[in-house]
């Protein structure tokens, strides 16, 4: 559906591609192998104004539109996975504030996020509560004028580098989906420790923040008490489609690298691209890329057009896009042969990086369950 882009969207795509290729690509390998937020990379995103796409216009942004986010994520992920992560976490970490915050909360927290002065984090997942959000153990109890938080999160992107955390906690134990609230917690708050990092198969700025008798002012509660899950789901439903876009960008990079390698690799007196087996792999990669892109763009267009729910369409995009990218990058390594296993090779890094995408923001299994519920309800 590239042909359906508006002139403004075409210009956005070309602009982000230029930034990615000219400014981000030279530091991409260094940044993508860093377990912490790369300061130089974040500075580029901030200085170029890309972070403004994660924040509403009235608070220093340009507005949050899913198609714009998809365009940006695809172009960034095609060059650097950390650039993509740094960009989208500003949106994911701040969107509960956009959805449920008071005017005062939005005015305080959103402009610095749009300028890149404040790094945002979305603290939902726990050691034993990933897909099963309701089983989270982190609690917040009201004590006078403060909420007191106790608990631990895990797999929190940008933890340790972030200054603004949106933290989900049980405030009404036993109330299920109506028992979770969300708070803004600032780094450095007494009782809050975000120093523990995680070492993943592909370098990623992620950690395990914890709260021990951490006092948070009542003014830091976002939205209504006990309605935090609604803010979490509203945030994920908005951003889920963009995960597919990031996967497409990664797969596009692997596809381009495979074509280039196949055209220049000599085997048995001919190019690797002359073999039918290679041609079939490239053909399947191209078809999967196009199909994934169309699904993502459809879901984004429907969301931006005001369709009340895109749960099914976003799950289509996330499921197919991430699994297609995984297959494409797998085949890219196969085409590269031994060269594809070598550290420093782009497809080797993509092979490690893409694996997380079928897991975070709803596993493939959860996407299938969601899709099944939607089609059986129709």
Q: Is 260 a catalytic residue?
A: no
The span from the CA of 193 to the CA of 209, in Å, is: 6
The span from the CA of 237 to the CA of 239, in Å, is: 6
Burial of residue 319 (CB within 10 Å: 0-12, 13-18, 19+) is buried
Three-class secondary structure assignment of 301-370 = HHHHCCCCCCHHHHHHHHHHHHHHHHHHHHHHHHHHHHHHHCCCCHHHHHHHHHHHHHCCCCCHHHHHHH
Going by C-alpha positions, the residue among 367, 366, 340, 360 that lies closest to residue 85 is 360
What is the number of alpha carbons within 13 Å of residue 146 lying toward its C-beta?
A: 10
> Is residue 153 a contact partner of residue 140, using CB atoms and an 8 Å limit?
no
Place of tokens 């609230």: 181
- The DSSP letter of residue 226 is T
The bridge status of strand 180-186 relative to strand 221-222 is: antiparallel
- Helix, strand, coil content of the chain in percent (nearest 5): 60, 15, 25
- The DSSP letter of residue 233 is H
Given 126, 208, 353, 361, the catalytic residue: 361
Residues designated as active site: 361
């Amino acid at each position: 559906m590239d042909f359906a882009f508006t002139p403004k969207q075409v210009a956005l795509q070309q602009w982000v591609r230029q930034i990615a290729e000219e400014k981000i690509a030279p530091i991409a390998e260094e940044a993508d192998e860093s377990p912490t937020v790369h300061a130089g990379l974040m500075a580029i995103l901030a200085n170029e104004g890309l972070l403004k796409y994660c924040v509403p216009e009235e608070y220093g942004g340009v507005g949050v539109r899913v198609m714009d986010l998809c365009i940006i994520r695809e172009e960034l992920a095609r060059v650097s996975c950390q650039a993509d992560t740094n960009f989208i976490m500003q949106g994911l970490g701040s969107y509960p504030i956009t959805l449920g915050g008071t005017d005062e909360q939005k005015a305080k927290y959103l402009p610095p996020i749009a300028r890149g002065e404040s790094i945002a984090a979305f603290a939902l997942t726990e050691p034993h509560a990933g897909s099963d959000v309701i089983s989270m153990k982190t609690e917040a109890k009201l004590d006078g004028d403060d909420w007191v938080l106790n608990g631990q999160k895990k797999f929190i992107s940008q933890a340790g580098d972030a200054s603004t955390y949106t933290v989900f906690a049980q405030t009404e134990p036993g109330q299920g989906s109506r028992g979770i609230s969300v708070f803004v917690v600032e780094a450095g708050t007494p009782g809050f420790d975000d120093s523990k990092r995680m070492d993943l198969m592909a370098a990623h700025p992620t950690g395990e923040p914890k709260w021990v008798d951490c006092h948070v002012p009542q003014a830091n509660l976002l939205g209504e008490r006990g309605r935090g899950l609604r803010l979490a789901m509203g945030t994920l439903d908005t951003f889920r489609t963009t995960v597919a876009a990031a996967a497409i960008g990664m797969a596009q990079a692997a596809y381009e690298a495979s074509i280039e390698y196949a055209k220049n690799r000599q085997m048995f007196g001919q190019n690797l691209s002359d073999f039918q087996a290679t041609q079939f792999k490239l053909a399947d990669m191209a078809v999967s890329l196009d199909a994934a892109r169309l699904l993502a763009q459809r879901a984004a267009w429907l969301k931006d057009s005001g369709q009340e729910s895109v749960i099914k369409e976003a799950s289509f995009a996330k499921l197919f896009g991430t699994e297609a990218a995984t297959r494409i990058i797998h085949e890219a390594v196969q085409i590269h042969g031994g060269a594809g296993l070598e550290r420093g090779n782009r497809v080797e890094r993509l092979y490690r990086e893409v694996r997380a995408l079928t897991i975070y923001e709803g596993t493939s299994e959860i996407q299938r369950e969601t899709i099944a519920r939607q089609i059986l309800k129709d």
